[in-house]
């Protein structure tokens, strides 16, 4: 009995290896090939990135000095700096955050906590928000431009105008990431609050939103870092590259770091290219810091419940 | 903290299914003080609950007595949680849920058009199977209810202390009130949830399998706590553990699921409701007898 079973198993295993041998070798080769392809793709991407960064650092290192932060743009590259661009970026991103965060979070809270999931209108809104996230940034620049024109604003290169364009640009991203953060809050937590006699609104304010803040912060920081690197919509608004004053208010004229870099790069003199590279390094460091902060927040608060 | 006379029962491992019916029968506490007819705080009449077209519970008529502990027992899926959630309108949160019949709280219809679900929940609190503290400090967990309901308290510190004392948790947490509630053990978290419920001074506390996520020692502490709380609160507890029902409950309602021959739906029905001593000692219905002696379910 045992011997027949064992014999049958032996026979079976032999056929398996003999027919499977060719196929599995083929299969192994194919998956190996695919793996190699993936590695090469990754390598190409990484090498390009590293070369770009190294080249930027090499070019910009000489101009990465205090003048970059203290001086105004000038036609003489040795005396030029990115001071108004750095201040302008801070103003624009600050105003963008002030516009986009409350609006985006409020929209997400409405969609996630209050809106009737089954209503047609809300389903359209959902699809719309998803699609808005994929629209090229320049379209948002056009939208801000026409909005300002409709409001009768003649000088469109103002901080609030740029902030409007960038806020529209990152609004869908903030809405989507906030919704995800809210969805990750366990239902039991909301029930615990409601069972104590809290209203829906109290439950959102005191329980759901606070519990979702780490997730919201992560998504929002990433969205803002995207806005910080954008130039296209601001150029459309007539972003200037030659500003000799500190932007100091919502209605002040401005330039930002990407625009400044864009302007310097278009200049034929090599010294300006060094300046552009130096400003790029500063921008890169800020972006890396923001992304690092987002990751740190995510890791720190990962699923506490 | 006083141990109740039947505390020892918990350390006895529950007898195996194969034992004779008599020996599997849970030990019965004598409830001499239980009146024959409950003085109803909450009264269900012909209560049926639907989820969409599916009828989860049908025609339940049941009165929950003042300052009594009522246990709801029965096999999984027979609608115990559903019924419990209807008693403080937490089932309103399920979009598809619909209630027929009436639930009255001190004679007032909870589901009347002018009845406010928020008000209902302020008077009838709920404790869940899995402890669900807020990701806040122990203090803020307790203060949450009084704050949101706008309760007038002379001193929030005293109020928090009292709630924690009532839930037999004060001595364990008095030195770490500012620490996050997630640092507590499961049993402590569950007592925190009970304390949090007590803090809004409800009339009734509903508990849905409050010990099923806890170890035996923590379970015992919750049971002791329930017996203490009975002096001030009406308690309704869903439990899978028949020994637990026998140990703590004054009255027990046994549910089972009846299968609809046409649709195949399993709908919960109330089989028998009586004093716990009767349900576990001398049940009137043979299905109850079968269930409590472990022959089915
Ligand atoms: N939110 C819900 N939506 C739809 N059906 C539900 C929901 N909750 C429970 N049910 C159904 O109602 C029946 C009773 O469930 P439940 O009340 O949880 O039973 P028990 O607590 O006795 O195990 C089950 O068939 C279950 O599938
Ligand atoms: Mg249940």
Q: Which ligand is nearest to the CA of B77?
A: 1
Dist. CA B39–CA B36, nearest whole Å: 9
Dist. CA B215–CA A39, nearest whole Å: 50
> Cα A7 to chain center, whole Å?
63
Task: Tell me the average pLDDT across A153-173.
Answer: 90
Contacts of A14 (CB under 8 A, 6+ apart): none
Q: What is the pLDDT confidence band of residue B51, given thresholds at 50, 70 and 90?
A: very high
Q: Are B219 and B250 spatial neighbours (Cβ–Cβ below 8 Å)?
A: no
Judgement on whether residues A58 and A179 belong to the same structural domain of the protein: no
Residue A298 has pLDDT above 70, yes or no: yes
- Rounded to two decimals, what is the model's pTM? 0.81
In a domain, B269, yes or no: yes
CATH of the domain at A265: 1.10.3720.10
Residue B9's pLDDT is: 35
- B81 in contact with ligand 1, CB cutoff 6 A: yes
B128:A191 CB<8 A: yes
Contacts of B133 in chain A (CB under 8 A): 192
- Number of structural domains chain B divides into: 1
Number of A/B CB contacts below 8 angstroms equals 70
The alpha carbon torsion through A290, A294, A296, A301 (nearest 10 deg) reads 160
The share of chain B scoring above pLDDT 90, in percent, equals 63
In a domain, B13, yes or no: no
- Number of structural domains chain A divides into: 2
In a domain, B237, yes or no: yes
In a domain, B11, yes or no: no
Instruction: Report pLDDT digits (tens) over A50-109.
Output: 999 999 999 888 888 888 888 888 888 888 888 999 999 999 999 999 999 999 999 999
In a domain, B4, yes or no: no
Contacts of B147 in chain A (CB under 8 A): 206
Ligand 1 center–CA B82 separation, angstroms: 6
Contacts of B182 (CB under 8 A, 6+ apart): A304, A305, B133, B135, B189
Q: What is the pLDDT confidence band of residue B6, given thresholds at 50, 70 and 90?
A: very low
Judgement on whether residues A185 and A273 belong to the same structural domain of the protein: yes
Judgement on whether residues A52 and A97 belong to the same structural domain of the protein: no
Q: What is the pLDDT confidence band of residue A13, given thresholds at 50, 70 and 90?
A: low
ipTM confidence score: 0.84
Residue A205's pLDDT is: 94
Residue B292's pLDDT is: 83
Of A188, A192, A197, the CB nearest to B122: A197
Judgement on whether residues A183 and A264 belong to the same structural domain of the protein: yes
**Direct distance between the N- and C-terminal alpha carbons of chain A, in angstroms, rounded to an integer:** 56
Three-state SS at A294: helix
Task: Tell me the average pLDDT across A20-29.
Answer: 76
Phi, psi at A102, each rounded to 5° = -60, -45
Task: Tell me the average pLDDT across B37-55.
Answer: 91
Judgement on whether residues A220 and A290 belong to the same structural domain of the protein: yes
Residue A20 has pLDDT above 70, yes or no: no
Contacts of B182 in chain A (CB under 8 A): 304-305
* Domain of residue A58, residue span: 2-63
CATH of the domain at B84: 3.40.50.300
Both tokens of residue B48? 């049926």
DSSP structure class, residue A65: S
Of A88-97, B7-16, B68-77, the least confident: B7-16
B109: β partners: B104
> Cα B247 to chain center, whole Å?
14
DSSP structure class, residue A138: H
B93:A197 CB<8 A: no
Judgement on whether residues A17 and A35 belong to the same structural domain of the protein: yes
Judgement on whether residues A191 and A70 belong to the same structural domain of the protein: yes
Ligand 2 center–CA B145 separation, angstroms: 25
Nearest-Cα distance to chain B for A188, in Å, is 6
Contacts of B95 in chain A (CB under 8 A): 117-118
Last residue within a domain, chosen from A33, A63, A93: A63
DSSP structure class, residue B211: T
Judgement on whether residues A141 and A34 belong to the same structural domain of the protein: no
Last residue within a domain, chosen from A13, A45, A63: A63
Higher pLDDT among residues A140 and B28, named by residue: A140
Kindly list the distances between the CA atom of residue A279 and the CA atoms of A14, A240, A241, B16, B29, in Å, as whole numbers in the listed order. Answer: 67, 16, 13, 76, 80
Of A189, A194, A197, the CB nearest to B134: A189
Q: What is the pLDDT confidence band of residue B281, given thresholds at 50, 70 and 90?
A: confident
Both tokens of residue B213? 């996520």
A194:B121 CB<8 A: yes
Judgement on whether residues A56 and A94 belong to the same structural domain of the protein: no
Q: Which residue has the tokens 């009846």?
A: B258
Rounded to the nearest 10 degrees, what angle do helices B186-198 and A187-195 cross at?
Answer: 30
In a domain, B25, yes or no: no
Higher pLDDT among residues B174 and B22, named by residue: B174
* Domain of residue B165, residue span: 38-292
Instruction: Report pLDDT digits (tens) over A176-225.
Output: 999 999 999 999 999 999 999 999 999 999 999 999 999 999 999 999 99
Task: Tell me the average pLDDT across A243-253.
Answer: 83
């Amino acid at each position: 009995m045992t011997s027949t079973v064992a014999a049958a198993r032996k026979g079976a295993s032999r056929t398996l290896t003999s027919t499977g041998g060719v196929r599995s070798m083929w299969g192994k080769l194919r998956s190996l090939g695919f793996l190699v392809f993936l590695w090469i793709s990754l390598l190409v991407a990484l090498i390009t990135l590293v070369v770009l960064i190294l080249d930027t650092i090499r070019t910009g290192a000489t101009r990465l000095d205090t003048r970059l932060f203290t001086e105004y743009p000038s036609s003489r590259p040795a005396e030029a700096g990115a001071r108004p661009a750095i201040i302008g970026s801070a103003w624009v991103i600050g105003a963008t955050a002030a516009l986009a965060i409350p609006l985006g979070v409020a929209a997400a809270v409405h969609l996630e906590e209050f809106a009737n999931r089954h209503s047609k209108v809300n389903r359209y809104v959902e699809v719309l928000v998803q699609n808005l996230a994929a629209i090229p940034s320049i379209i948002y620049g056009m939208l801000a431009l026409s909005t300002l024109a409709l409001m009768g604003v003649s000088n469109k290169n103002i901080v609030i105008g740029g902030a409007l364009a960038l806020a529209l640009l990152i609004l869908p991203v903030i809405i989507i990431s906030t919704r995800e953060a809210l969805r990750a809050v366990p239902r039991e937590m909301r029930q615990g609050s409601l069972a104590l006699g809290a209203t829906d609104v109290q439950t959102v304010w005191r329980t759901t939103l606070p519990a979702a803040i780490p997730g919201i912060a992560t998504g929002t920081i990433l969205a803002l870092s995207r806005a910080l690197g954008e130039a296209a919509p601001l150029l459309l608004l007539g972003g200037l590259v030659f500003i000799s004053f500190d932007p100091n208010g919502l209605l002040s004229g401005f330039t930002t770091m990407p625009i400044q870099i864009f302007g310097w790069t278009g200049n034929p003199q090599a010294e300006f290219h060094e300046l552009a590279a130096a400003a790029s390094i500063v921008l890169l460091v800020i972006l890396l810091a923001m992304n690092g902060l987002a990751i740190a927040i995510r890791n720190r608060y990962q699923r506490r419940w | 903290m006083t141990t109740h006379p039947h505390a020892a029962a918990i350390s006895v491992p529950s007898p195996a299914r194969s034992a004779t019916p008599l020996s599997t029968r849970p030990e019965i506490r004598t409830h001499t003080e239980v009146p024959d007819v409950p003085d109803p705080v909450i009264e269900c009449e012909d209560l049926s609950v639907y989820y969409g077209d599916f009828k989860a519970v049908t025609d339940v008529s049941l009165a929950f007595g003042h300052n009594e502990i009522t246990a709801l027992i029965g096999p999984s899926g027979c609608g115990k949680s559903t019924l419990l959630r209807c008693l403080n309108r937490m089932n309103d949160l399920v979009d598809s849920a619909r209630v027929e019949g009436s639930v009255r709280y001190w004679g007032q219809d909870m589901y009347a058009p002018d009845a406010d679900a928020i008000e209902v929940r302020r008077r009838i609190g709920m404790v869940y199977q899995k402890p669900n503290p807020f990701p806040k400090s122990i203090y803020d967990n307790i203060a949450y209810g009084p704050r949101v309901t706008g309760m007038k308290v002379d001193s929030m510190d005293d109020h928090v202390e009292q709630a924690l004392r009532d839930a037999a948790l004060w001595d364990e947490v008095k030195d770490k009130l500012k620490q996050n509630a997630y640092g507590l053990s499961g049993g402590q978290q569950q007592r925190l949830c009970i304390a949090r419920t007590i803090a809004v001074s409800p009339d009734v506390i509903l508990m849905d399998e409050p010990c099923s996520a806890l170890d035996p020692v923590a379970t015992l502490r919750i049971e002791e706590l329930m017996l203490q709380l009975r002096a001030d609160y009406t308690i309704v507890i869903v439990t899978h553990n028949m020994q637990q029902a026998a140990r703590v409950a004054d009255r027990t309602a046994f549910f089972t699921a009846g299968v609809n021959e046409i649709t195949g739906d399993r709908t919960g029905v109330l089989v028998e409701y009586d004093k716990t001593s009767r349900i576990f000692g001398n049940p009137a219905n043979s299905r109850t007898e079968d269930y409590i002696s472990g022959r089915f379910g």
